Amino acid sequence: MSEMIEVVQAYDRALIKAIPADDAQALETKLATAARTLSARDAWLKPHQRGAILQRAASLLEGRVEAFAKLIAQEGGKPLTDALVEARRAVDGLRNAADELRNFAGREIPMGLTPASDGRWAFTTKEPIGVVAAISAFNHPLNLIIHQVAPAIAVGCPVIVKPAAPTPLSCLELVALLHEAGLPEAWCQTLITEDNALAERLATDPRVAFLSFIGSARVGWHLRSKLAPGTRCALEHGGAAPVIVDRSANLDAIIEPIVKGGYYHAGQVCVSVQRIFVHAAIKVEFVERLSARVAALRVGDPLLPETEVGPLILPRETDRVASWIEEAVGRGTQLIGGGRLSRTTLKPAILLDPPADAKVSEFEVFGPLTCVYGFEELDQAIDIANALPVAFQASVFSRDIGPALRAAQRLDASAVMINDHTAFRTDWMPFAGRRQSGYGVGGIPWTMKEMAHEKMLVLKHDG
């Protein structure tokens, strides 16, 4: 009899469903199936078939948005209003992958530029890179799977996806929906396990050509070091996103986006607003306004439509965030808000000028907390913002173009938002961490490029 995994609600730890776990033999069967599917070249799905499947899946998902949103809120703890946004994004993501097939092509390579290259015509074509192993995270249990699986399907790669252990249900429902839309089961399989060693075996198997990993930097970089020779990868980790608030910033306009960016999904977002650097001339008023809005956030059961901040994913994560706050307070940092509602639910908090070597200043919090620091000179704030080994998205708020562009040019980030929060994203834009924050480029069209080989054909002719 298979071992069972109990999936519980993030908010109150109530059982949602028990599902069977996969073992080593199941993994071997799935890998063999994926490899066999790839090798059967004549049976590959044609681009028009792949596009049609993705479009049908989008239509099916569009009719089930509310059901998926409820499941996201239950297993992941994301407030229902935000879970609905995630489910609708997933619909668009499937269509985005299908639409991108119209542009997914090689290019002509110029010949005849030297005598040796005369009499030749060369061009490239796109081919699937091979079997994809996709290991995903809990915080967007539907849309992250879309980011990994939809590009693989579009390109024509057999994919085995392992969802995060606390949030497998959205993944299972999505894969079932893809099969319902006409995708043969061999092209998209799941690995359901709480066994990290088994997940590592998936990632490092020599039959895997591409690893897509979303999760902690510690695990991601470890897996990259263990990949079989020739296996490519994309790693998406986290950061400690900086926001710079220039003295010219419009306080009437910026508080709401900063609060959304900092406390959306209880801060469990890889580009969540964490470190806010505010010019000393406006710091007092900024903190007053920020504190008032954070205090008004409605915290609790994510299934209630009015909830704005839900739980963290696990009790141990709640304990960790609480301990980091306590460490900063113990070193003389002023705390605004905070406290605990349940085993997994923390009240949103603000820390004022925590030490530079406090955990909340050095590491990704991944909880409902922002830290506010004052500065006198813009370059001082930029230098501190850039001082960590992680770098992902950043933002600057300013009504003056000079400080906005100076910060945008000098912030060490893959994307800088001007007058918007750090967590802004569309699924068709490039999304990538720098340095320890990641490797490769996410975003559906960009992932499709990474999951494909470019093959060159050179035709010699006498004309």
CB 337: neighbour CB atoms within 10 A?
16
Secondary structure E strands in 25-136 = 108-109, 120-128, 131-135
User: Do residues 22 and 202 lie in contact, with contact meaning Cβ atoms separated by under 8 Å?
Assistant: no
- The enclosing H or E element of 446 equals helix 444-450
Pairwise CA distance, residues 133 & 122, whole Å: 32
Map tokens 């919090």 to a residue.
Answer: 365
Distance of CA 59 to the CA centre of its chain: 23
Assigned token pair, 61: 């998902």
Catalytic residue among 171, 188, 270, 371: 270
Q: Catalytic residue at 306? A: no
User: Do residues 236 and 259 lie in contact, with contact meaning Cβ atoms separated by under 8 Å?
Assistant: no
- C-alpha dist (Å) from residue 223 to 218, 220, 226, 228, 276: 9, 5, 5, 10, 32
Residues 6+ apart with CB under 8 A from 194: 5, 21, 165
Look at the chain and count its residues: 463
- The enclosing H or E element of 217 equals helix 217-226
Residues 6+ apart with CB under 8 A from 189: 30, 33, 34, 158, 159, 160, 161, 175
Catalytic residue among 236, 317, 364, 450: 236
Distance of CA 402 to the CA centre of its chain: 32
Collapsing DSSP to helix, strand or coil, 30 comes out as helix
Q: Which residues of 365-397 are buried (b: 16+ CB within 10 A; e: fewer)?
A: bbbbbbbbbbbeebeebbebbeebebbbbbbbb
Distance of CA 56 to the CA centre of its chain: 24
Q: Catalytic residue at 236? A: yes
Which is it for strands 273-279 and 369-375: parallel, antiparallel or unpaired? parallel
Q: Which residues are catalytic?
A: 236, 270
